[in-house]
Structure 1
Amino acid sequence: MATFVFNDETKKNSHGFYLLNAGGKFERFNENPVMLNNHDLAQLTGRWLNLRVEGSQLLAEPEFDDGDPEAIKLKGKVDRGYLRGASPGIVILAAEYRENPVTKDTDIYVTEWELFEGSTVSVPSNAGAITLKVYDSNRCIVNDSNVKCHVEDIIKLSISSTTNLIDKKMNEIQLTAEALVALGITKSADEAAISAAIVRLKAKVDTAETNLEKLEKKAREEHETRVTEMVNLAIKEGRITADKKDAFVKLGIADFETTKTTIEAIPVKQSLAANVKPIQGQGIPKDRENWTLLQWMKNDMPGLRQLQVDTPDLYEQIKKK
């Protein structure tokens, strides 16, 4: 059985528009899938079977009326390969302008339509299927020369209907009591008053967000200052070395309390001078007798300063080493 292509939605038909298969309504057609010859309502030649969409194409198979001599002739032409064209007769319900994804041109796309009948034809209107006939709402064929205007009128009506629907929905919007309080208006407020209230509320929100950003920035800066001071003190006390400063600052910014606890758990570095003080008149302790000035400065600078105060004579001796 031959398969006929009713429509290929990737192809622009001879009327200059694309017919989208997804927008087709086939319920009434499937109840009575009449097959005409060249859209002549007086030439019922059979019926269509297995109407379906495969990929971009709308397909069906013909079943000719064996009791009709004209139908038998057409069937013979199909069997012998002389008749291969099919044409849907449609009623357009909705259409719109869209950007063609391939050519990037603006083209007309019929997005909603009803299949009224299907005909065998000899002349296709595009490489995919096939000619096409358009019926108006009264099921009368639209003259081919008027099809484009007919479709454009439908587009205008679609745009107008959409705009009216939006306007209607906007007019039907009812604000709750909470919304009225938030906007500072009464239930009797008109559109201008509502718009002005929304603008005022938006300005307040913007101001609040700006102030919040300033507060958050100030809090971050104060937090970073507090962390830096804590780490600097830890270095001064000898709990950590200076090369660890950046790491502890980073940890402190992420988790101040845990970092503080960690630092406090590290013992303070004790000065050698605090544990071993030279005895007045007995000279420098034996374990440091050979220390040079550089060794004192490196190993115990606080102790060296203490020697300068408590035993200036010993300090002078160290300076000479």
Structure 2
Amino acid sequence: MDFILSDGKSTNTKGYRTNVLGILLERFKANPVMLFDHDTGKVIGRWENIRIEDDKLMATPVFDLDDPQGKEVARKVDKNFLRAASIGIMPLRLEYINDEFVLVESELMEASIVPIPSDAGAIRLYNEKLEELSFDQVKVNFNFNNNKQKSNEMAEVVFRLSHKTVEILGLEADYTPKDVELAVAEKDKEIEKLKADLKAVEKQSQTDYLNNAEKAGKISAVERLSFEKMAEKGCFEDVKTMIDAKAETATETLADKVNKSSITAGRENWDYLKWMKEDSAGLEKLRAENPKEFERLQLTIKK
């Protein structure tokens, strides 16, 4: 007759269920000893045709009839006095799923004929040294220090929010934890949008400040590029301090110099190429007398 070594659909009396599909069988199949009641000193045969059917771990017993105890157990099985089996496994992964502990992965170490069915409590848990473990020890090893009842209590936490918080989140009087989660997520989106808008305003403000500084002749176009890089790194206050200090010592703006220059008189709208074509000698003179204006004209080529 075949035995059900473990039923993956049943929760045993120790408070957990074994996922049969997650039981590793390779090592056991290499030495499929049959014990009596998990006693390694009582080898009464071997298991054959080890397989999984309908979420059950199944096997066929082959009794050692030359062994007195094996022969006696075989007789009791044949007479229907013994008809239960149990497995000894090494836990590999424990999870808490749908309000119950589940040994998701394990390795089969031995299988026994027992007086009590495996999933009613006779299942054994071992460590790598084949030392027997309690389920509480297994939970601690997998950082499940709380028991099933505590886990249920954690899953049913009642949120108690202040009236102001409920109002801000736009919750109904009978809100659930899920409602709170969704409302907070929506507020997070609003906050991220506000941050993005604020960043855009700050960026525009910085651009306007640098534009005005350049137009006023406080900084050159080349200096502006350096200041922009500093601002992008979050150092705009330092940039502003440097430009403001520079402005205090400025006695003459670029606009003043352009207006005073006899070279540029009447040619304020000329670009660099126009100067090269119409008055290259004047352009050279401008470079010597008004280098900032000459630098500005060079930039018009790039534009």
TM-score (norm 2): 0.47
Name the larger-Rg structure.
Answer: 1
TM-score (norm 1): 0.44
